[in-house]
Amino acid sequence: MSKPKIGVIVGSIRANRFAERPAQWIAELARASGELDVEIIDLKDYPLPIFDEAVSPAYGTVSSEVALRWQKKLDEQDGFIFTAAEYTRGPTAALKNAIDYAYPQWNKKVAAYVGYGGVGGARAIEQLRLNAIEDQMVPIRNAVHIMFGEYLAIVNEGKSISDFPHLQQAGQDLIAQFTWYVKALKAARDADTAATEAASEGRDHEE
């Protein structure tokens, strides 16, 4: 049986961003579990325009070629771990914009978060959890919160995230809970697909 596919989304696009470090770190932890097929998905590779589509992705097809490529990449994944910088008590505009450019691609999949900045990105993560629920995702309880002091030690003193035992433990706890939900929801989605295909075959035979 193939491993569930997981996208670690780098949630910042600014110059000299910190986001790559927690993305690489949590991706390594996820790979070390041996249970997940992990891919880092960088928003810089998807230069989405500010959302200006005629209809929501929940109701129609978007026109932006970049957005269509973004949706295709999301559709391949079974769950997502987002890095969450906190800007003015919320997530980055780039990440929120990217979330708004998809809908069915998020549905019935798991969301987890690695936050940093003010209070460890907690306020940004809380907003992102609300966005996830509206997108019919399952945001898990466990998260990683890299506080500002730890952030400075990593940036200025050359420390790594794994040098902080409590962050390492939080990351492992996140991966454990995330993996359980990924497997459960993937099984449920696969069962739905199989039931739909069986019903379609039954109608074909009747005709």
Residue 12 has which token pair?
């910042």
User: Which amino acid, 52?
Assistant: D
pLDDT in tens, 63-93: 999 999 999 999 999 999 999 999 999 999 9
- Give the side-chain half-sphere CA count within 13 A for 169: 3
Q: Which residues pair with 139 in a beta bridge?
A: 111
Residue 118 has what pLDDT?
Answer: 83
Residues of the chain with pLDDT under 50: none
Residue 200 has what pLDDT?
Answer: 78
Residue 104 has which token pair?
């069915």
Conformation bin of residue 15: beta by default, left when phi > 0, alpha when psi is -120 to 50: beta
If 0-12 CB within 10 Å is exposed, 13-18 middle and 19+ buried, where does residue 79 land?
A: buried
Residue 147 has which token pair?
């506080």
Q: Model's pTM, two decimal places? A: 0.95
Residue 198 has what pLDDT?
Answer: 86
Residue 202 has what pLDDT?
Answer: 72
User: Which amino acid, 102?
Assistant: A
Calpha distance 74→78 (Å, rounded): 8
